[in-house]
Amino acid sequence: MIRHFTKHALTASMVLALTLATGTALKVTAAPASVADTTTIQDAYNQINALNLDAVDVPIKAQRIAALYEEKISPFQIAGKLAKLGIDDLTLIFRAADTASFYLVEQRYVTDMELDLQALESRGAAKDVDFAELYGAYIELRQFDKAVSLKDAHPGMTVPALPKLSIMDMSPGEQEVLQVSPIDGSVSSAHVDVSKGPMIVVVGHPYCHFFFAKCCRGH
């Protein structure tokens, strides 16, 4: 799932929308996967990618991708099994986890992406574009510190830097307001009582990923 950073630069406003929504490489040679495993992985990725391209409602698409992933990709997401796969299959598994992460925005898929990239990196096969996908996944989960650390570790990624963030921890049921500094573009948060003052109505497209994640899942 390509997160179009060049099209949607991570300015302070972008982080605001995202927030509201939700070594040297060791080159080793792994034993080749069986033909059956390779076929299974290729077929599973093809099915997940077909769903990604299908023009169905986002909630339905997300549910179907989650089911396919659980049945056909998850069993391979174990370090011992990944070590036996070829680079092409590892790449497909990483892309499947990336797609699932994009639609479902859950930690388990990002953890799988990390595991897959570790396997690819150990063989010198991890690319900057792959780390850029993980960078985007961290931001979707509001794991900004991890995103910054990843960018520092892989400066070859063509992704914009995050603005300086000062986000307060929120208790369940509390609301916050995010403020963008007109001076340096930094983002800070503060508690707000939404029961007082004017009401703001937010209108979002049902196919907007961030709107769906924030509003359509009961968050």
Q: Where in the chain are the domains?
A: 26-153, 165-215
Task: Read off the pLDDT of residues 82-136 as tens digits, 9 standing for 90 and up.
Answer: 999 999 999 999 999 999 999 999 999 999 999 999 999 999 999 999 999 999 9
- Report field, pTM of the whole predicted structure over 0.75: no
Comparing 89 with 9, the larger pLDDT belongs to 89
Dist CA 22 CA 24 (whole Å): 35
Q: Quote the distance between the C-alpha of residue 86 and its chain's center.
A: 24
Nearest residue to 104 (alpha-carbon basis) of 96, 92, 93, 94: 96
Least confident of 19-23, 151-155, 157-161: 19-23
